[in-house]
Structure 1
Amino acid sequence: MLQNLVPGTVLTPTWLAGQGVSRDLALRYVTSGWLERVGRGAYQRRGDSVDWQGAVHTLQTQLGLTVHVAGLSALQLKGLGHYLSMGKEASVLLVSDGAERLPAWFSGKEWGAEIVHRCVQLFDFSENLPLTVVEHKGFSVRVSPPERAAFEMIYCVDGNSAFDHARTVFDGLGALRPQEVQKLLEACRSVRVKRLFLWMARDCAHPWLKHVDPDRVDLGSGKRVVYDGGELDRELLITVPRRKEDADV
């Protein structure tokens, strides 16, 4: 068992059973000093250091959950969220593609970061959308690729400050793959997110936008208030920050 475990990760009863270790035997290992509890029904090797990435690896591999690192958090792990701190007290966004509950040992433990978990059905056929991985301390964690992370970031915009932050981060997304952007625009269920994504791409003048066909995207009808006190973008029918020359009037 000790040879097969991945250092820096949590051990669940499911994994332990696969190694021939019953719950009673696991408790004996705790008593003997080989294992220590992480929470109810979860363990780690005594003296091991497990961070939130190691815990997420366990959720994904041992429990088979769809949860993944998403939005701004995924962009930061990929080196694209230059304006987001991931140090102590940082906020980490985890997204599940459907209704999914995280175990109590995970949600009840302090991981050195604020963990935000959302169950979001943002895309049709989300199970067919690929994720990417980030290597960390000898194991991998599944995260959203930059294109999907950008949509998830915009989905979380809930006020002017969050809008401005997302717009700043979006400015650094000049290398998105237009084929993936097109696929996600067509699969995205949120009219608000699709319109705002296209507005940010246009406002940042990203070159990949010219390879995206908005006519194949259902942008709905009617106006959407996205930015309080802003002005209406007449093409995409969303409120956005006023242009500087208008704000100075």
Structure 2
Amino acid sequence: MSSHKISKVNQMLQNLVPGTVLTPAWLADQGVSKDLARRYVASGWLERVGRGAYMRTGDSVDWQGAVHTLQSQLGLTVHVAGLSALQLKGLGHYLSMGEQDSILLFSDGSERLPTWFTVKDWGVEIVHRCAHLFDSSGNLPWASVEHKGFRIRVSPPERAAFEMLYCIADNAAFDHTRTVFEGLGSLRPQEVQKLLEACRSVRVKRLFLWMAKDCAHPWLKYIDPDPVDLGSGKRVVYEGGELDGELLITVPRRKEDADV
């Protein structure tokens, strides 16, 4: 290999973030064409992660490094969401439904993840959902977590709570989410207010307010419901439950009623 090509390799290796995937777009920014990338594979500098994706030979890339690539190199809105985000922030203490073996990712609206990411076994189940849950999503707050020297974008606890409610599909999920919500007594009311006003789902907003009320979280008294569009009509959320007269959603029956 010529000294020029070796110099280019060295530049690429200096600029890469260890533990992450290298995409053709990033390699192109380093002056590495697709053909040259194939030569680097043949020469042992790079290994293939999947179709159109590479990593430094001998490097170890986990799902966090792959998500970092999706966010930083491809500019996707995908982020760690819901209970997975709460767990990364130390707030998801209840793992009775197997979430420790899965990672929830959200994208803001329709977004397709590359095949190299979706096909590879990252050691955990990756669940990806596309949901335009908030208006003006770019103006809402984000959080991040550090991993192996780089950072990945995750939902802050307030946003994660909304995403967790969005994913409720049955009574068991409702009960589990209610248990997790019990531990969210330190949410920031200013951020909750922003999200309530920006949330596009009437069902999620009603659920959020009901959960906060049922858990008697102290921050609820600082929330102004007047600017929040709660829609009209009843919503069946909990099968076989009772109707909450204020928020017009079905919720678990009170114990004294259930015993009758």
Structure 1 counterpart of 2:5: none
Structure 2 counterpart of 1:52: 63
Distance in structure 1 (CA, Å) of the matches to 2:30 and 2:173: 46
Structure 1 stretches of 4+ moved >2 Å? 84-89
Question: Greater helix percent: which structure?
Answer: 2
SS in 2 for 1:79: coil
Which amino acid in structure 2 is aligned with residue 155 of structure 1?
Y
Shift in alpha-carbon separation, 1:8–1:147, aligned structure 2, 3 A: same
Which amino acid in structure 1 is aligned with residue 67 of structure 2?
V
Q: Aligned pair 1:127/2:138, yes or no? A: yes
Structure 2 counterpart of 1:39: 50
Shift in alpha-carbon separation, 1:6–1:57, aligned structure 2, 3 A: same
Distance in structure 2 (CA, Å) of the matches to 1:106 and 1:130: 26
Shift in alpha-carbon separation, 1:114–1:168, aligned structure 2, 3 A: same
Which structure 1 residue ranges, 5 or more long, are not aligned?
none
SS in 2 for 1:116: strand
Distance in structure 2 (CA, Å) of the matches to 1:170 and 1:13: 42
Structure 2 counterpart of 1:10: 21
Q: Is the 8 A contact 1:89 1:114 kept in 2?
A: no
Note the aligned Cα RMSD (angstroms): 1.5
Instruction: Give the structure-1-normalised TM-score.
Output: 0.97
Distance in structure 1 (CA, Å) of the matches to 2:118 and 2:251: 36
Which amino acid in structure 2 is aligned with residue 196 of structure 1?
L
Structure 2 counterpart of 1:170: 181
Shift in alpha-carbon separation, 1:87–1:233, aligned structure 2, 3 A: closer
Distance in structure 2 (CA, Å) of the matches to 1:159 and 1:55: 31
Which amino acid in structure 2 is aligned with residue 43 of structure 1?
Y
Larger Rg: 2
Instruction: Give the structure-2-normalised TM-score.
Output: 0.93
Which structure 2 residue ranges, 5 or more long, are not aligned?
1-11
Structure 2 counterpart of 1:208: 219
Q: Is the 8 A contact 2:84 2:99 kept in 1?
A: no
Q: Is the 8 A contact 1:72 1:84 kept in 2?
A: no
CA displacement at 1:87 relative to structure 2: 9.0
Distance in structure 1 (CA, Å) of the matches to 2:211 and 2:98: 27
Q: Aligned pair 1:235/2:246, yes or no? A: yes
Distance in structure 1 (CA, Å) of the matches to 2:243 and 2:96: 32
* Identical-residue share of aligned pairs (%): 83
Shift in alpha-carbon separation, 1:121–1:36, aligned structure 2, 3 A: same
Shift in alpha-carbon separation, 1:22–1:51, aligned structure 2, 3 A: same
Which amino acid in structure 1 is aligned with residue 94 of structure 2?
Y
- The C-alpha deviation readout for 1:149-196, integer Å capped at 9, x for no partner, is 000000000000110111011001000000110111011111100000
Structure 1 counterpart of 2:3: none
Matches within 5 A, 1:174-185: 174-185=185-196
Distance in structure 1 (CA, Å) of the matches to 2:148 and 2:30: 23
Equivalenced residue count is 249
